[in-house]
Amino acid sequence: MSVREFTPLFSWGFSLRRSKWLLPLFNNNIWSFGNEAVNTPYGGWTTTGQRPQRRGKGVSHAQQHSNGPDVALDLLSHLDLPEHNKPVDSSKQKPVELMDLSDGQIIDMLATGKLSHYELEKKLGSTNSDRAVKLRRMHFASNTNMMTQEVVELLPHEHGIDYKQVTGVCCENVVGYVPIPVGVAGPLLLDGNQYMVPMATVEGALVGSTNRGFKALRGALGGEGVSSVILSDGMTRGPVVQLPNAKRASALKKWVEDEKNFERITKEFDSTSRFARLQEIKVGVAGRKVFLRFKCKTGDAMGMNMISKATDKALKFLVAEFHDMQIVSLSGNYCTDKKPSSVNWIEGRGKSVVCDAVIPASVVKSVLKTEVEKLVNLNVNKNLIGSAMSGSIGGFNAHASNMVTAVFLATGQDCAQNVESSNCMTLMEKTADGDLYMSITMPSIEVGTIGGGTHLNAQKACLKLLGVHGSQENNPGANAQQLARIVASTVMAGELSLMSALAEDVLVKSHLDLNRAKK
């Protein structure tokens, strides 16, 4: 009986305790105990040809395994064994690959420290990624006691994800996955085209509220729903370098800002990729430290790896020109990545997007159940004055990060970048005709339609639902820009709906209806 045939009991039906599995298996007419009982490649024999003895009274575990191949051969010389069951001279054997060993043997190697669990995917090969995950779970449950029976049962690992797509790309030391519900809101009418927007979230009422916002925006004047523009498109990386003194730091700044020198840097920078195209270098000086904010186009990729590689080469070029320049760090927080910062709010990072629409007062009344004047007044007091009072950076909105994160999760984006991607200013005005003019300004949406988690099956499906998966061959960068427009429009819908609920004081009721499980 193999381990795979014995999976239900072997995996989690009983508690494993290193080399003390009290499970005897009758293997090829020879009783085997302990680790050797589990699917050894020699039908009950260890790789040394040793036959495990029964542990009788006074026989220690060490004594049990002290006999060598010669003793085993002598003990069993009287048996007429089948050819495939005869002990093998280990000195003539070829090295055994890890993938050829049984699960039990690998678990024992993990328990004794002969193999580290983070090496499983590498040693087993990418085609055995599923097995690596299963073995790691078994190791943590049996050898370390770090995963209890309850954890093992609650954390899924089968059927929901292709681990070959994860290995070496998305995650290490994998023990399973966390399912997140995906809802769809829409249709979103954006620049005359309709989209069903996938949102992955565990916050009840979010998808329903965004859906209501989309309904109101479909009634916008002009017949095209939300209108969007891309103000700029460029990923940034901001290394920090050090010179001997402030004069040399100033000299570097002036040298980089010279047009001819910038062209030389650009040539080196652009040579690293067919998509990376340097747009500008913003230089800041603090004492003898120089911060260089490189900004470039990255096609349909979000582009952090691309720009990091290109920046690294540009820095090496600068070192050749300034021999006394020391590279302190490839990232000096002048980028700025995954942190609140004024530089992203003012200069932009990734895609800078503006969306606007004029919603008739009748739609505000019939769909949003409120009035234009109430929305305008609330927006000034909450999103503008309130955010200013709190000292917010880029937080002049009601809950932009809710929609950003939900779409990011669904489409395989780097969710930590929702920090700067959620920078947003929501503005509302009453028009001369009494309708509602609304705009969303988001200067730093960082998204890609290739790379990262976008290749995982579920996330790929969500991108395909939006019609933006992969790279736009004829116009590189167009898919990522379109995704940024969709993110901003989704934020607009969520802002409109939540502000309406707050204006009419029905937020709590809505959440109680949609965010609380009923018995």
Catalytic residues: 203, 338, 414, 511
- Given a contact cutoff of 8 angstroms between Cβ atoms, the answer to whether 225 and 357 are in contact is yes
* Cα(324)–Cα(242) distance, integer angstroms: 8
> Letter for the amino acid at 328?
V
User: How far is it, in rounded angstroms, from Cα 310 to Cα 266?
Assistant: 10
φ, ψ for residue 328, nearest 5 deg = -80, -50
Torsion angle, CA of 315/317/322/324, rounded to 10 degrees? Answer: 60
- Distance separating alpha carbons of residues 490 and 508, to the nearest angstrom: 22
**Closest of 226, 518, 475, 467 to residue 355, by C-alpha:** 226
How wide is the angle at C-alpha 495 spanned by C-alphas 492 and 496, nearest 5°?
85
Cβ contact 49:92 at 8 Å: no
Spatial separation of the C-alpha atoms in residues 477 and 190, rounded to whole Å: 18
Residue 380: how many other CB atoms lie within 10 Å:
14
Question: Can you tell me which residue has the tokens 């006999």?
Answer: 67
Do 368 and 438 touch, CB atoms closer than 8 A?
A: no
Dump the DSSP string for 139-176: HHHHTS--S-HHHHHHS--SSS--HHHHTTTT-SS---
